[in-house]
Amino acid sequence: MSADTQIVNYVEESEFDVVLNGSEEKVVVVDFTATWCGPCRLVSPLMEQLAEEYKGRAKVVKVDVDRNKPIFKKFALRSIPAVLIFKDGILAETIVGVSPYEQFSEAVQKLVEAV
């Protein structure tokens, strides 16, 4: 997959609060990942699919834990992949580990419907 077709972008710590609170979408999905993490590579295409399915209703971003350790620690995460789903800037759901696509989409759907 080339970089220009990828719709899930990485965000840095400095942008994190802006993404959570300044996004047009009320629901923000954050995929905590790392380049060396094998299971993270399994979650990555699911995040792309999620971003496509919920375009305009939910924003999906990635955070590289190696470059953004403070955010990782802020949410008391101990392992990756970890997907945090926020609604109106507040953490609503945490999914740790490789999970089926349905688990991610159902969590997002529930929050999108509650808007």
Per-residue pLDDT of the chain (115 residues; tens, 9 = 90+): 334 456 899 999 999 999 998 878 899 999 999 999 999 999 999 999 999 999 999 999 999 999 999 999 999 999 999 999 999 999 999 999 999 999 999 999 999 998 5
The active-site residue out of 37, 77, 92, 95 is: 37
The CATH code of the domain that includes 65 is 3.40.30.10
Task: Tell me the C-alpha distance between 49 and 89, whole Å.
Answer: 22
Tally the domains of the chain: 1
Residue 113 appears among annotated catalytic residues: no
Structural domain span for residue 44 = 3-113
SS3 for 67? coil
Residue 37 appears among annotated catalytic residues: yes
The active-site residue out of 11, 40, 47, 85 is: 40
Q: pTM for the complete prediction? A: 0.92
Task: Tell me the C-alpha distance between 45 and 43, whole Å.
Answer: 6
Q: Residue 24 corresponds to which tokens in the numbers above?
A: 């047009």
